Structure 1
Amino acid sequence: MSGKNILFLVLLIFVPISLIAHFGEWGELTVFITAGLAILPLAGWMGKATEEIAVVLGPLVGGLLNATFGNATELIIALIALRAGLVDVVKASITGSILGNLLLVMGLAMFLGGLRHKEQKFEPIVARVNAASMNLAVIAILMPTAMDVTSSGVSEQTLQRLSVAVAIVLIIVYALTLLFSMKTHTYLYDVGVADSPIVENPAHTPNIWLWGGVLLGSTLLVALESELLVDSLEAATSQLGLTALFTGVILVPIIGNAAEHATAVTVAMKNKMDLSLSVAVGSSMQIALFVAPVLILAGWAFGQPMDLDFNPFELVAVAVAVLIANTISSDGKSNWLEGVLLLATYTVLGLAFYFHPVIEGIG
């Protein structure tokens, strides 16, 4: 068993601890911290189970399964927060997931991978396709926000209708990106698939019932822990002296993405940048083109109207992240200094969100 899986097993102790903290009324801060720590290994086991099941189901169905469950943890947390009426926290978590994957994860991957390997290469065509997809995400957020800022008297209902229409477009585009990567242009993605740790061991035959049970159990426990996390979020962040904006942009995405982050960095250090970037950038694309639109539609269904009219400060941060990530990855090569530039950008944005004053509806 790998060191990562051993760590996931050890961290599972926080599942019962968080429940005891909740029912024993140990305080909202304790519940928030223990629930967050419990989600880390559960998200890791969800990812592991999805990979194992994908081996049995084949590349097409397995790819769809990975595409569906790739950001399941973040989606579950966001859905529960949305149902609780924390719309601004949900929007902040979308922003934070995009920033975290494009800057923190890709930055760490390029930096640590670059320390071991002077220059690392990846498929530039895929990088350009990903860049165009992320540009679309910025446009999707920009239009409703620009409409609200530049037009007086725009009703929430109008913004909601626009956002639902844009969400449908984004979901269609996401489906087409899956068609592109798994059917019409699979040869561009063959390097990343061939580098997969599971594919490297062709004799590996997973027990689909065992891993199906792990996936189901992990998903249910993530939902339970997410309830605890969201219920204690406002009180805990207040005790920590943090705004809900900073928590949504920085803390919540790190909790939901930690296992995925570790995978991207690990494979980058093995000089498998195609696979590393498919995890980091692919996750950002899924958040922008699938998770965010699903949350828009879910908010409409829950009676918790959510739109794509983001805080302009968040919009600027996303645009900056997409710009520098696209610039650095466009040539199909990376080195440790480019990783530092991405990490420095994430740090600057993180500091800006930390010092950003509390505004109505956010903190």
Structure 2
Amino acid sequence: MSIKNLIFTVLLVFVPVSILGHFLEWDALVLFIVAALAIVPLAAWMGTATEEIAVVAGPSLGGLLNATFGNATELIIAFIALQAGLVDVVKASITGSIIGNLLLVMGLSMLLGGLRYKEQEFQPLLARVNASSMNLAVIAMLVPTAVGFTSSGIDELTLQRLSSSVAIVLILVYGLTLLFSMKTHSYLYDVGVAGLESDEPGVIGEAESHSAEKPNLWLWVGVLLAATVLVAIESEFLVGSLEAATKQLGLTELFTGVILLPIIGNAAEHTTAVVVAIKNKMDLSVSVAVGSSLQIALFVAPVLVLAGLVMGQPMDLNFNPFELVAVAVAVLIANSISSDGKSNWLEGTLLLATYAVLGLAFYFHPVIDGLG
């Protein structure tokens, strides 16, 4: 068992601990920490179960499963927070996920991979396609915010209708990106998939991945359902203790939403991206980091907008202007560094430095309406 798998296995102890803490009414900060630690290994199990089911389901359905459940943990946390009326925290977690994947995950991957290999390569054409998609995501976030900022008399209902319309466009575009990656231009993604199958067979259960026999479909479906239910329960604990915990830590909910929640929800996926980069599979690493950002922007965010209407918790795409600036900066530098299809440790350091600067800005950002 690798160190990574061992850590995730040990962290499972926090699942019963957090449940016990909930019934014993532990301090909010303690419950927040143990719930966060419990979510990390559960997210790993969800990812592994999805990969194992994909092996049985075949490449087309398997790809769709991975595309749908890739950010399931973050989506569940966001649903729970949205249901609790923490709309601004949900928005912050969306921008934080995009920033974290493009700067923190890709930065760590390029840095650690670059320390082992002088220069690493990935497909520049794929990088350019991803860059164009991320530019669309920035535009989709910019337009409702710009309309709200430039039209002082605009009402919330109009912004909600605009956001819902934009959300439908983004979901359609996400569907087209799946068609592009799984059908018409699937060859661009073959290198990363081959690298995943040969060198990174999942977060848990490496022995099963190397087996000639196909995985037990119903076993992994059960694992996926159980992990999903437990993530939902832990998310309830996390969100329920969020406000009190952030006050005890001296943090604003803006910082918590942008920095802490995305790291908690994406820890397992982040680890995978870094590990494969160290194994010189930069194609796969970049695919994981950028693909996760695209899924957040083109699928998770619009789904949350539409779900908010159904749940009676309306959420629009009118973001805090500083969040929008941060996303634009992250997309700009990530596109600039990845455009040539090559990476080194210095470029990874530049991405991490950008993430640190933005993190400090969010930490010192004054409390605004609805946050903190």
Instruction: Report the TM range for the smaller structure's normalisation.
Output: over 0.9
Matched residue of 1:313: which SS? Answer: helix
**1:30-49 map, 5 Å:** 30-49=30-49
Matched residue of 2:26: which SS? Answer: coil
Structure 1 residue 205, shift from structure 2 partner: 2.3
Match of 2:26 in 1: 26
Structure 1 residue 327, shift from structure 2 partner: 0.3
User: Within the alignment, does 1:273 sit opposite 2:282 as a pair?
Assistant: yes
Separation (CA, whole Å) in 2 of partners of 1:23 and 1:355: 35
Change beyond 3 A, Cα 1:3–1:195: same
AA partner of residue 117 (structure 2): H
Match of 1:339 in 2: 348
User: Within the alignment, does 1:187 sit opposite 2:196 as a pair?
Assistant: no
Separation (CA, whole Å) in 1 of partners of 2:211 and 2:351: 36
CA deviation vs aligned residue, 1:73-130 (integer Å, no higher than 9, x gap):
0000000000100000000000100000000000000000000010000011110010
Separation (CA, whole Å) in 2 of partners of 1:38 and 1:250: 18
Separation (CA, whole Å) in 2 of partners of 1:275 and 1:312: 32
Q: 1:313 aligns with which of 322, 325, 345?
A: 322
Matched residue of 1:130: which SS? Answer: helix
Match of 1:168 in 2: 168
Structure 1 residue 285, shift from structure 2 partner: 0.2
Separation (CA, whole Å) in 2 of partners of 1:351 and 1:203: 49
Q: 1:205 aligns with which of 200, 214, 218?
A: 214
Q: 1:221 aligns with which of 207, 227, 230?
A: 230
Match of 2:333 in 1: 324
Match of 2:66 in 1: 66
Q: For structure 1, list consecutive stretches of 5 or more residues without a partner in the other structure.
A: none
TM-score of the pair, normalised by structure 2? 0.96
**1:118-157 map, 5 Å:** 118-157=118-157
AA partner of residue 37 (structure 1): L
Match of 2:104 in 1: 104
AA partner of residue 281 (structure 1): V
Separation (CA, whole Å) in 1 of partners of 2:369 and 2:305: 21
Aligned-residue RMSD, C-alpha: 1.1
TM-score of the pair, normalised by structure 1? 0.98
Match of 1:3 in 2: 3
Separation (CA, whole Å) in 1 of partners of 2:350 and 2:276: 20
Separation (CA, whole Å) in 1 of partners of 2:167 and 2:29: 35
How many residues of Structure 1 are paired with residues of Structure 2 in the alignment? 363
AA partner of residue 284 (structure 2): L
Separation (CA, whole Å) in 2 of partners of 1:362 and 1:204: 51
Separation (CA, whole Å) in 2 of partners of 1:277 and 1:51: 18
Q: Would you say the 8 A contact 1:198–1:204 is kept in 2?
A: no
Q: 1:259 aligns with which of 255, 258, 268?
A: 268
CA deviation vs aligned residue, 1:181-230 (integer Å, no higher than 9, x gap):
00000111110111113687472521112111111110000000000000
Matched residue of 1:196: which SS? Answer: helix
**1:232-243 map, 5 Å:** 232-243=241-252
**1:76-95 map, 5 Å:** 76-95=76-95
CA deviation vs aligned residue, 1:135-194 (integer Å, no higher than 9, x gap):
000000000000111111110000000000000000000000000000000111110111
Identity within the alignment, %: 77
Q: Would you say the 8 A contact 1:76–1:222 is kept in 2?
A: yes
